[in-house]
Amino acid sequence: MKTWHYALLVFLGGCCYGALSTFVKLAYHAGYTAAEVTGSQYLLGTLLIWMIAIFSKKKKLTLTKIGKLLLSGIPLGLTGVFYYQSLQTVHASLAIIFLFQFVWIGSLFEWIFYKKAPTTGKFVSIGILVVGSILAAGIITEGDGGLTWQGTAWGLLSALTYTTFIFLSGSVETDTPPVLKSAFFATGGLITVLILVQPTELFHLSVFMGVAPYGLYLGLLGVALPPLLLSIGMPHIGPGLGTILTASELPVAVILSSLVLAEQVSMFQWLGVILILGGIVAGNVKVPKTEKKSPASLEKESVS
């Protein structure tokens, strides 16, 4: 695969996450709690990815490697828990802005752990993405939405854990088949959610059957597919560019909220979406370096 193929997979992984918020709202409107929605999402998503892993390429793993993969799934589960907690205490537009801080945290991680300083182009790309995210989230037109320190803390924690998961998906056990790797990531996330959220209501058959359609959709796009896509793409493009590409999450969230929930999206928000897409493009465009020619070659060209 070419580099842009891997970048496309990571971009699609971000799109999957962007499709979650709309259907979480639909589940809430149907009367289901955050614990029920989160629990069903991770339970059904983990079952889905394991069903695929059973029929995929196998590789014998040691207990140490399995432990590493399960532990690497913890940030995946924590991101869902923290983000849903933030949504309960602040306006949705602010919560997603806090989560969106993973854009620059990813480049910071790359700088700290890989000693790879962000280029000028990447700084420009991040700046465009941050401005675009503020516009797309509707802060200018909707105000602060009731800012609280609790919501701020939960939102920033979700950004940190999301970045951590993106980082780990591209660096932990890179020789493990992506599907098997994703299955263990999802299992680690499921265990984390079950411990922290304790969705005991799912033991009631009527509740489980009612929330299952939402959980199946959310599990596919929030638990099964993103780890798989990131596991394939991230090792080839790095966490810095990877976090920029997963910024596709916010435009998708805005577009789906408009189409599915019939929410009014202002011109400022559409402008933000366009800026985000522009920032993603700017982060991927490589300017060819002009080679400096030696005096001898220049003299040869002038003679010819």
Residue 92's pLDDT is: 63
Please give the share of the chain, as a percent, with pLDDT higher than 70.
Answer: 86
Question: Model confidence at 73, in pLDDT bands (50, 70, 90)?
Answer: very high
Q: Please report how many Cα atoms fall inside a 13 Å half-sphere around the Cα of residue 10, on the Cβ side.
A: 29
Q: What is the pLDDT of residues 203-253, one digit of tens each?
A: 899 999 999 999 999 999 888 888 788 878 887 887 667 777 877 777 787
Residue 13's pLDDT is: 86
Residue 239's pLDDT is: 67
Residue 296's pLDDT is: 53
Q: What is the CA 298 to chain-centroid distance, rounded?
A: 49
- Helix residue ranges per DSSP H, the chain: 3-18, 20-29, 34-54, 63-72, 74-89, 92-99, 102-114, 120-136, 139-142, 149-169, 178-197, 205-219, 225-245, 249-259, 267-284, 295-303
Q: What is the pLDDT of residues 293-303, one digit of tens each?
A: 555 554 555 55
Q: What is the CA 233 to chain-centroid distance, rounded?
A: 13
- Delimit the domains of the chain by residue range: 3-285
Count of residues making up the chain: 304
Q: What is the pLDDT of residues 84-128, one digit of tens each?
A: 788 777 766 667 777 877 777 877 887 888 787 877 877 887 888
Residue 272's pLDDT is: 79
Tell me if 228 sits within 8 A of 267, measured CB to CB.
no
pTM metric for this prediction: 0.78
